[in-house]
Amino acid sequence: MKALCCQATAAVLIGLLCSHVCSAAPQAPAAASSIGDTHLRTFNGLFYDFQAAGDFILAEVEPNFTVHTRQVSGAPTWPDATVNQAVAARFGSTKVAICVAPQGADQPPRVHVDGRLTPVEDGQTLQLPEGVGIGRQGNVYRIASESGDSVRAEVHPTWINVYVGLAHWPSAVHGLIANANGNASQIETRDHFVLTNAFNFDELYHRYADSWRMSAEKSLLSVCNSETEIERRVPKQTFYAKDLEPAVRERAHVVCATAGVKPGPLLEACTLDVAVIGQEAAAKVFVDAVPPAAVGTTLAGGGLLQHLKHWWIFLPFTVILLAAWFLMRRQL
């Protein structure tokens, strides 16, 4: 048992079922996360909100490790906020997906391995092809490869907190939880267009979001599909704790402060999550969290001034209108 637990091939078990066997649990050289509704922490320590709905590449280290998440909006109550409701990872050619049970169904999360429904009982560990392992303890699922890349999913009834660990750092990682040029103040699209904090709303939720969005045909989460189409939505505006109704914000703030969340960006994020998710359990993930190295903000968009920066688009139409006006004047 000890040999199995302490091998890299069973890294999924570390801190889960083998903590009583291995004297020390190795930590991933680099870690990032997607929690709550939906707060991302990159491998370089940037903490920013990303509230688009759809299937996205969360992290990718080519050619052998990819993580996708499905973000679902809180519409109609919370149309400008999203939560993770599914996560999938590919280790080599082995694919594992974890999907929240359909709303109202008294069922555990559905786990699919290479497209096949594969129940994982509480306390159980499974060895999968290519040295990949999956283990479960309560609502926590941990998946890891032989090399040490890993995904941990804390599955709640309506949302999933996702943690990604890399076996090697630095790595050429891309996706929503990666930074551009190793700079904690920068993120980039799939075609390497760089966004710098504070982020432009339209660039974040159109060019950036669309570049990391996955089609139904290419998403690792297609096994989680229900009868409805995958939601594709972007928020109409930024949405922070300060945008909550005062009474709602105060109640959620008290829950987070009482739980022990320290003042700062994590307390603000916790306040938003408790309000939107509607459960005090949403505060737990913030209690012992390490403060981020940098905090991302998004500038409000959608107004006239925001679009005037593209004035050149309207130039041809302006010239045509002016020419028509002068022609009419000469005929009068």
Question: Has residue 313 got a pLDDT over 80?
Answer: no
pLDDT at 24: 38
Q: Please, what's the largest Cα pairwise distance for the chain?
A: 97
pLDDT at 227: 61
Cα separation, 40 vs 288, whole angstroms: 16
Residue-averaged pLDDT of the chain: 88
Half-sphere exposure of 304 (CA within 13 A, CB side): 0
pLDDT tens, position by position, 129-142: 999 999 999 999 99
Q: DSSP code of 188?
A: E
Percent of the chain with pLDDT over 70: 84
pLDDT at 262: 96
Cα separation, 269 vs 81, whole angstroms: 12
Tokens for 259, please give them: 């739980």
Phi, psi for residue 324 in degrees, rounded to 5: -65, -40
pLDDT tens, position by position, 154-187: 999 999 999 999 999 999 999 999 999 999 999 9
pLDDT at 315: 64
Question: Has residue 232 got a pLDDT over 90?
Answer: yes
pLDDT at 17: 42
pLDDT at 322: 77
pLDDT at 222: 94
Question: Has residue 316 got a pLDDT over 90?
Answer: no
Q: Give whole-number Cα distances, 195 to 192, 212, 238, in Å.
A: 9, 14, 17
Please name the helix (run of DSSP H) or strand (run of DSSP E) that holds residue 317, with its range, or none. Answer: helix 315-331
Half-sphere exposure of 168 (CA within 13 A, CB side): 10
pLDDT tens, position by position, 292-309: 999 999 998 644 444 444
Across the beta sheet with 78-91, the strand order is 54-61, 65-74, 78-91, 94-99, 110-113, 116-117
Least confident window among 17-31, 107-121, 228-242: 17-31
pLDDT at 332: 60
Please name the helix (run of DSSP H) or strand (run of DSSP E) that holds residue 89, with its range, or none. Answer: strand 78-91
pLDDT tens, position by position, 29-64: 899 999 999 999 999 999 999 999 999 999 999 999
Per the CB < 8 A criterion, the answer to whether 255 and 280 are in contact is: yes
